[in-house]
Chain A
Amino acid sequence: MSTNLDTTNLKTDEMIINMGPQHPATHGVLRLILKLDGEIVRHVEPVIGHLHRAQEWQGQNRTLFQYQALIDRVDYLSGMFTSLAFAHACEQIDGCQIPPRAQYLRALVCEMNRISSHLLWLGTFLIDLGALFGFPFYPFREREKLLDLFEEIAGQRMMFNYIRIGGVQRDPKQSWFEKVRKFTAEFPDRINEYEAIVTQNPIVLKRTKGVGILDKSVAMDYGVTGPSIRGSGINYDLRKTRPYGIYPELNFEIPLGQNQGDTWDRYMCRILEMRQSNNLINQCLDKMPEGEILGKKQIAGLRIKAGEGFAAIESPRGVLGCYVISNGSDKAYRIRWRNPSFCNLAVLPSLLIGRPISDIMAIFGSIDVILPDVDR
């Protein structure tokens, strides 16, 4: 009997699985149509839009003042950033002056929001890897403290409506700054704690090293931004390359991935970014000037000049852009969002082909997608 069994042409049935929208680990309502050969993924089609709330339509049918309160929902984990992008775009058109204290407050709350967003990512990423019960609650403990601080200045824990066109809404009390200082003093220890559990864990290393390698050229072709592309070694951070606000005055470095851009690099980038943000918060607190906080009067009939403005900022997930076309009335003529999650998610199919089921969630978790941000 011949032993040369030709297995290359041995074809088995491919199985089509609908992963999501109701699935414990799709971070909300992503639906992946998977074609599986055994446990190996052969074809992926992401189906999005289950959380579509017509943010762009609302932008051109609500007044600017009304819409300001809505845009925190675009990306609910980093509401400060969506507000900031919108405010920047409107300020570009209007040319209004932003007081320096407001600039510093914006940078301060944004960096805090970056930490809280990364903390939630860290917890859910570990859930994606299968550490369902133990670890994920440690980052949430620190996130809770940050949300309490946000609640004190904005009145809400996630939907802040704090950054407005022309400045920020409320001036925090002195005691709030002290609380922030207290947080930043203990936070590096907490990151050390997470790293002690995760970074040296052999199972985590096995699950992440060499998994989901995002090639530089592929990433650039798809327009991937944020920690996902910095993990691949491309130094692209708007805070450095196209500095906005007060970032030129601050001293910081951009962490880059050390290997070839795998899941592990993206994880490490975010961990280092949290340390960097903690440092930035301290610098903002040290340099905080006194003075006004709002350069434009907040009234129901808020108007900006006619024109087009495109502002982009570095959100925790990448370049968050806002394109506003104004005709001088109290409503914008057209508002267009450039969401980092939307662009980063497009690269997912090319990462998943040929990987087993277990890697789907590790890779998907590592590019850090927020579904409301994808679907708007």
Chain B
Amino acid sequence: MNATGWLNWRSLNQEGIVFAIAVVLFIAAAIGLPGFINSNNLVAIVRSVSVLGILALGMAVVIIGRGIDLSAVAIMAMSVAWYLQLLSSGMSDGLAFAYVLAGVLAIGLLNGILVAYAEVPAIFVTLATASFVFGYVRSQLITQDAVPVPPGHWVELLGGLRFLDIPVEVFVFAGLAFAFFLFLRYTKWGRYVYFAGDNPVAARNIGIPVRPMLVLRYVLSALVSLIAGLLTAASLHSINTRIVNSTLLYDIVLVAVIGGIGLSGGRGGVRNVLVGAALIGILLNAMTIIDIPLLYQNLIKAAILLAAIIVDGFINPRDEQTAQQGDI
């Protein structure tokens, strides 16, 4: 968005288009659907995309640095499943959490080191670690797909936390979004993420520690996944590792990409994630109120994504200047 704002349609980028679609949908739903504009429903919309949005924040930082983290959902589900399993086997809370935190950090480090130092493409590294994390935890560390939260445990109490009747996930999402915004916009290392994503070689030549920062981003993404997993378990009082097989991972990438974060890196920010999450949240909520079957919901979701990409292609055609090496 530039200073002239929405009036100049030529300046519309994908973020603007998606934002416009979200606003149109919102207005249409507010007029056409009874109960949509109700404050509780609006809270429910934000809540329904909170965990998705939190995961998308982690993914966004990785994508901006010209990478991708396909292990996010596996880390989210398996770390928390392991944690709950350790608790139910009688381990003390502190020790169990220390183990899990160490595990999550180790996987984040492994992802980062393989991408940064072994120079294996991120898509393969994280795909492999996702399978490894899922397979190892599922076969060696837990006994069942669904692991319940022990009654009275802090994770269960966390799920019941409300401020002004707003569930805790919403605040965590807002807090993390703000923290990521500050990090990307105002810290030196945050700015470096863009430089490294836009042109890694040049970034390295001017003395930016490109490789250690790559590692940092994957560790950050892994930690964010752990938070998202804890929030999921808090709300449902259990975690089901079957979520690793779901479309959640694609939804995370969808939220980031549909909001306008280019997969080629170097572009986008927290605002794009918020716009993408808003569109998905409004869309899913409206379709559930209308009672559209899941098959059609997926179709509609995909059609809107395609439409946004096509319109973006027309308005911002690719040329030698905008196209980059490494563009997926």
> Is chain B a partner of chain A in the same complex?
no
Instruction: Identify the A interface with B (CB < 8 A).
Output: none
